[in-house]
Structure 1
Amino acid sequence: MRKILFALTLSALPAYARAAPVGTPAIITGIVLPAPQRPEDARETLEAARAFYDFWNTGDRSLLRRAIAPSFVDHTPPPGRVAGPEGPALAAREFLKAIPDLQVTVTRMVLSGPYVTVHMHFDGHFTGSMGGHLGRGQTIHFIATDLLRVTGGRITDNWHLEDNLALQTEMGLIQHVP
């Protein structure tokens, strides 16, 4: 019965991807379905993700080395940041310089095969400096979401999105216009 239901779900996906009542249909280039996973693979995947976010809280590069593969690629780096394995180290150093009490709280992890979707909150106080701007103790709270691909217990890919508007507004780098 489960195989039949799975087959029916798969057969409906192409039609769903094409269905759009008006305008241009959405382009869907990849669909990830939850797949049966060995418990040890799931554990390795979650341990890599955990080490990655522990690194963000501490700046401890040994956690980063444990978390990411030498072939790591950040598919959404901001301008000027390298997309390879040094990117997260540079980003964390800059963030911790600006927000020394930075705390990353993972609020949800969704595991599907080699992928982990992670929703998190970043909190702290802008008491350092960033981009030539000095903090005045402003409270920082913004959200972010990562889509990680983990292979062999190491993160190989990251697609990261964060609420930069909230971050830059809270830091006083841009003015909020209602």
Structure 2
Amino acid sequence: MSDHNKQLVEHFINLSWNTGRFNLLRQIVTPDFVYHTTFAEGFKDVDSFVEYVKQIRTAIVDLDVSIEEIMAEGDRVITISTFSGSFQKPLFGFPPNNKVIGFSAVSTWEIRRGRVCSQNTLVDLAGLQRQMAQNWGNGTVRAAG
């Protein structure tokens, strides 16, 4: 079961962040799917998550999420991922600059009956802030909305 859950999470990441195939994504999440990240306030259902990802993929059209490590036990999966790409359109109050940035994130996932029911993501905000300060020169990262 753990190997199947790892494959499900890999598929989720590819369908959402890497390819934007949201209709297929909706088929692999539970109706009560919940997403939470340290980069944005509150919890998101699948529709809010899709809008959030679309907003980011519009600004970072070359966005790539690479899974560096994946571990699973029972219905729980943990991923360590790297998000990278260049800002080509304004995002969260920052102007586009076409510079490539990359940051790490750790996510915990819960699987229920072969579908993803939750994802909690901790973003390396300090690493992202350092890159933003270099790119924008002000040292301030605003919370994503």
Coarse TM-score class (shorter-chain normalised): 0.7 to 0.9
Q: Which amino acid aligns with 1:53?
A: I
Q: Using the alignment, how far apart are the partners of 1:125 and 1:57 within structure 2? A: 14
The higher radius of gyration belongs to: 1
Q: Which segments of 5 or more consecutive residues in structure 2 lack a partner in the other structure?
A: 141-145
Distance 1:168 1:92, change over 3 A: farther
Q: Which residue of 2 aligns with 1:104?
A: 65
Q: Which residue of 2 aligns with 1:36?
A: none
Q: Using the alignment, how far apart are the partners of 2:35 and 2:137 within structure 1? A: 26
Q: Which segments of 5 or more consecutive residues in structure 1 lack a partner in the other structure?
A: 1-40
Q: Percent identity?
A: 25
Distance 1:122 1:70, change over 3 A: same
**What is the CA distance between 1:74 and its match in structure 2?**
2.1
**What is the CA distance between 1:64 and its match in structure 2?**
1.7
Greater length-normalized contact order (CA 8 Å, ≥ 6 residues apart): 2
Q: Using the alignment, how far apart are the partners of 1:124 and 1:75 within structure 2? A: 22
Instruction: Flag the structure with higher strand content.
Output: 2
**What is the CA distance between 1:97 and its match in structure 2?**
1.5
**What is the CA distance between 1:59 and its match in structure 2?**
1.0
- TM-score when normalising by structure 1: 0.67
Q: Using the alignment, how far apart are the partners of 1:123 and 1:169 within structure 2? A: 15
Contact 2:87 2:97 in 1 (8 A): yes
Q: Which amino acid aligns with 1:59?
A: G
**What is the CA distance between 1:153 and its match in structure 2?**
1.1
Distance 1:88 1:173, change over 3 A: farther
Q: Which amino acid aligns with 1:142?
A: F
Candidates 32, 36, 44, aligned match of 2:4: 44
**What is the aligned-residue RMSD (CA, Å)?**
2.2
Q: Which residue of 1 aligns with 2:85?
A: 124
Contact 2:20 2:54 in 1 (8 A): yes
Candidates 125, 139, 142, aligned match of 1:176: 139
Q: Which amino acid aligns with 1:176?
A: G
Residues 1:67 and 2:67 are matched in the alignment: no
Q: Secondary structure at the match of 1:48?
A: helix
- TM-score when normalising by structure 2: 0.81
Q: Any runs of at least 4 consecutive aligned residues in structure 1 with deviations exceeding 6 A, and if so which?
A: none
Contact 1:52 1:63 in 2 (8 A): no
Q: How does 1:85-100 map to 2 (within 5 A)?
A: 85-100=46-61
Q: Using the alignment, how far apart are the partners of 2:90 and 2:66 within structure 1? A: 22
Q: CA deviation digits over 1:52-99, x for unaligned, max 9? A: 1102101110332133211111244622x6521123212211111121
Q: How many residues align?
A: 136
Q: Which residue of 1 aligns with 2:114?
A: 153
Q: Using the alignment, how far apart are the partners of 1:67 and 1:48 within structure 2? A: 8
Contact 1:149 1:158 in 2 (8 A): yes
